[in-house]
Amino acid sequence: MLGEPPRAIFFTFSHRPDGYRVKQYDVLILGSGTAGQSLALRLADQQRVALVTKRELTDSASAWAQGGIAAVLDATDSVEAHIQDTFTAGAGLCDPVATRFVVENSRRAIEWLIERGVPFTREDESAIGYHLTREGGHSHRRIIHAADATGAAVQATLGAQVRAHPNIDIFEHHIAIDLVLGDKIGHPELGCVGAYVLDIEAGTVVTFGARNTVLATGGTGKVYLYTTNPDVATGDGVAMAWRAGCRVGNMEFIQFHPTCLYHPQEKSFLISEAVRGEGGVLRLPDGTRFMPDHDPRAELAPRDIVARAIDREMKRRGLDCVYLDITHKPAEWIREHFPTIHSRCLELGIDITKDPIPVVPAAHYSCGGIVTDLAARTDVPNLYSVGESAFTGLHGANRLASNSLLECLVFGESAAKDILSQPQTPVPTLPEWDESRVTDADEEVVITHNWAELRQAMWDYVGIVRTTKRLQRAQHRIRLLESEIHEFYSNFRVSNDLIELRNLVVTADLIVRCALLRKESRGLHSSADYPETLPDPRPTLLRPPRRKRAR
């Protein structure tokens, strides 16, 4: 409990001259979404935690999650049904052990949030006292939610407790540059011993030493031109782990959310899956409904099917968007169930109680990432990954709606248990960041130009439907950009934009490499050259040829 005294023996820091930029913690957590915050709270009663975040504490993809959290909470539902729905959505690639582990722990994860005070939407008629909605791919109503802003409610609740906890130090406006490994101090057996982190506002690099380091950095959405993700989703954890020597897996499976609002003043506003779950239908501009022609489950088909159907209709008919129509529901019901969506659309001149919502698919979620086990451990000792940056095996070739926050919570708990079970060894002292051989950048336009070119190439060549030729074109451009970016990074002082661009180009390369290796169409990876699905489903795993060290 929060009121209990800490049981760990913390470090006594010697006095250093002003400006000395080396810090030590029991645990360093990079990322402040649901995975990072829930893990910090589970650790902080016993260990001293540093929580590093690129912007404000609650700026993450978790805070943007509208729909809710999938869990077996109702007597008419079952663990086996949730597992089967996850398998079906995952197109044969879900790891059965990881999937069962997550689903069997789903109820406890929700109970932990309720104990923490998350204000889930109540319903007196419900057997559990909370309203459960249904989303695409689910056979039951099992999505517990806080109206249509579940992620924001979870982040606000946990965030307040993170800020109040005396054993959690929050470093906002800080971005990790690279992990520090034990061989840098002559002890390779230690694995990861911390990270170099840029204080964005001060422009200085801080060295964080830690007994354990956790990558909770979120997804890779900003590698694409159009995405539902916040600007912080730049694949940082995946890129850093790859450079540190970790395997990555299934990076080709990028989920494109079917329904991102299409409006010139709003580039990344998500229209929740729950709108379709509560009866919303997809229509062409003339009002014709088209999803029944693509799948018998119509609007309740898994996201990959709905996204491909929309993409096909748009390309076939030359459309800028399609329309999601919920106007047949009572206006008051719509305002009550979807207040955030209703309010934002109304600001843009769309009254969703009367008008269908213009929508397009957009990059939304990465089903692959850093290979981890059930304790969230990576290939590098003392390095963990939780949340969207990790590849646990749960999502397979396509994530089932509302399994993402659940994964954050379940693996956050398992990582905490593993970390707390370890002996309290000393944290090694690390050297400061060396920038003696670099200068200030002369032309920042290189960064902005390469950023735009990379995202455009990924959107054009590595989108919803792919071909080998398009992937090879993308790979060629990525390799050229990677060379330019590496040269820039080697010669100039780091900045937030340069760090993110360096990580994005690594992430883009990993996505394309995985996509080229998969000679079939499965789930989110649809290939015009290989339209069939192979009978033997296998994950795509990549291992770094050698580790690239931080300077």
Handedness of CA 539, 499, 362, 276 (dihedral sign): positive
- What is the 3 state secondary structure string of 166-207? CCEEEECCEEEEEEEEHHHHCCHHHCEEEEEEEECCCCEEEE
Q: Which of 397, 386, 403 is nearest to 520 (CA)?
A: 397
Q: Are 77 and 131 in contact (CB under 8 A)?
A: no
Distance in angstroms (rounded) separating the CA atoms of residues 23 and 20: 9
Distance in angstroms (rounded) separating the CA atoms of residues 246 and 372: 9
Out of 142, 276, 303, 502, the active site residue is 303
Six-digit token string for 435: 């920038």
SS3 327: coil
Query: Which residues fall within 8 angstroms of residue 330, CB to CB, at 6 or more apart?
Result: none
Distance in angstroms (rounded) separating the CA atoms of residues 418 and 399: 26
Buried b (16+ CB within 10 A) or exposed e, 141-171: bbbbbbbbbbbbbbbbbbbebbeebebbebb
Surface-to-core class of residue 193, CB atoms within 10 Å of its CB (0-12 exposed, 13-18 middle, 19+ buried) = buried
Distance in angstroms (rounded) separating the CA atoms of residues 29 and 32: 8
Q: Would you give the DSSP letter of residue 238?
A: H
Six-digit token string for 424: 């309290």
- Determine how many CB atoms are found less than 10 A away from the CB of residue 517: 12
DSSP codes joined into one string, 79-141: HHHHHHHHHHHTTT-S-HHHHHHHHHTHHHHHHHHHHHT--PPB-TTSSSSB-EE--TT-SS-
Handedness of CA 456, 460, 464, 470 (dihedral sign): negative
Cα first-last separation, the chain: 41
Six-digit token string for 120: 């889930």
Q: What is the DSSP pairing of strand 281-283 with strand 526-527? A: unpaired
Q: Are 170 and 185 in contact (CB under 8 A)?
A: no
Active site residue 303: yes
Q: What is the DSSP pairing of strand 383-385 with strand 204-215? A: parallel
Handedness of CA 301, 306, 312, 314 (dihedral sign): positive
SS3 516: helix
Which segments within 344-473 are labelled E, that is strand? 357-366, 369-371, 383-385, 390-391, 465-466
Distance in angstroms (rounded) separating the CA atoms of residues 205 and 203: 7
As annotated, the active-site residues are 303
